[in-house]
Amino acid sequence: MNIRDKRIVIKIGTSTLTHESGHINIRRFEELVKVLSDLQNAGAHLILVSSGAIAVGMGKIGLREKPLDIPGTQACAAIGQCELMHLYDTLFGRFNHNVAQLLLTKDIVEDDERLQHVQNTLDTLLDMHVIPIINENDTVAIDELVFGDNDTLSAMVAILSDAAGLIILSDIDGLYTSNPRTDPTAAFIPFVDVEKDEVESIAAGVGTARGTGGMVTKIQAAKLCHPAGIPLWILNGSDPRNLYDWLDEKPVGTYFTPKGDADHANR
Ligand code: GLU
């Protein structure tokens, strides 16, 4: 894909940023920021939707189990969000890129005025070549903490920013016919047209290891992007260099076609 002057939204899941211990995966974090900086240098206008606040907050205060109550989870998100942004700011700074934090709630799309404010801010940041980093505003958004779903948020961000594509980085290569962790016959699905292909029942059985949304919310994200003409890819974020393969149009990840690209010509 020619990314020059294109807005690309990249959603980064908790499992990409943290070890199973819950602590930050420093090597992964560094590699990811390096590759993203390179895409930005190639002329893309990146917008990141980053999860990880709760896990990073838990790791920071030494909690091994996620708090069972909402205020406890919200407190962890508040602690982790600072740490997360500190890391992004420091690491992107090494490559001479500036970042900005936007904490949104999904209901902004229901209010034209608030939506316009978000769009204005995003447009201005992108004009300044700053990389917006978005998360749900976890202290006010109860639903998201219960359902855990930055996938839908990333689709909304792709639509409201009129993005040329959405990439969801997960801890799995893409969509399979069944769970490849438990079923050796699971086959990889390289292309999906959400209008025609029956993928929902497949997705229900395929979670990701530590992400909260799993495949179901990724299919929901694809269903939002499809009618808006936005292509969506699921790539494995455990090797951030997969983004280079994506850039070089090599077969990597699962491609969810947007409306009007049934023959995958835009891949
Ligand atoms: N907003 C949550 C966090 O930053 C993540 C929700 C999700 O995993 O989708 O921890």
The tens digit of pLDDT for each residue in 12-60 reads 999 899 998 888 999 999 999 999 999 999 999 999 999 999 999 999 9
* Per-residue confidence (pLDDT) for residue 133, from 0 to 100: 98
Of the chain, the percentage scoring pLDDT greater than 90 comes to 72
| Total domains present in the chain | 1
Ligand 1 and 44: CB distance under 6 A: no
Contact between 243 and 235 (Cβ < 8 Å)? yes
The Å distance, Cα 135 to ligand 1 centre, comes to 7
Q: Check pLDDT > 70 for residue 154.
A: yes
* Per-residue confidence (pLDDT) for residue 209, from 0 to 100: 47
Give a yes or no: residue 56 inside a domain: yes
Ligand 1 and 135: CB distance under 6 A: yes
Average pLDDT over residues 246-262: 91
Please give the radius of gyration of the chain, using alpha carbons only, rounded to the nearest integer.
Answer: 17
* Per-residue confidence (pLDDT) for residue 211, from 0 to 100: 47
CATH of the domain at 195: 3.40.1160.10
* Per-residue confidence (pLDDT) for residue 200, from 0 to 100: 79
Give a yes or no: residue 267 inside a domain: no
Q: Whose CA is nearest to atom 2 of ligand 1?
A: 51
Give a yes or no: residue 203 inside a domain: yes
Average pLDDT over residues 94-105: 96
Ligand 1 and 74: CB distance under 6 A: no
Ligand 1 and 22: CB distance under 6 A: no
Ligand 1 atom at minimum distance from 151 CA: 9
Ligand 1 and 153: CB distance under 6 A: no
E strands in the chain: 7-12, 45-50, 99-104, 131-136, 165-170, 175-176, 188-189, 191-192, 232-236, 254-256
Ligand 1 atom at minimum distance from 55 CA: 10
Ligand 1 and 258: CB distance under 6 A: no
Ligand 1 and 16: CB distance under 6 A: no
Give a yes or no: residue 1 inside a domain: no
Give a yes or no: residue 28 inside a domain: yes
Give a yes or no: residue 106 inside a domain: yes
Is the four-CA dihedral 231, 173, 218, 256 of positive or negative sign? positive
Average pLDDT over residues 235-250: 95
The Å distance, Cα 207 to ligand 1 centre, comes to 15
- How is residue 44 annotated by DSSP? -
- The pLDDT tens digits for 189-201 are 999 999 888 887 7
Average pLDDT over residues 58-66: 91
| Residue 173: domain span | 7-262
Round to the nearest angstrom and report the end-to-end CA distance of the chain.
7
Distances (CA, A) of 73 to 16, 18, 140: 20, 17, 12
| SS3 label, residue 153 | helix
Distance CA 210, CA 213 (A): 9
* Residue of 228, 172, 230 lying closest to 202 (CA atoms): 172
Give a yes or no: residue 183 inside a domain: yes
Question: What average pLDDT does the chain have?
Answer: 90
Give a yes or no: residue 129 inside a domain: yes
Average pLDDT over residues 71-93: 97
Average pLDDT over residues 73-99: 97
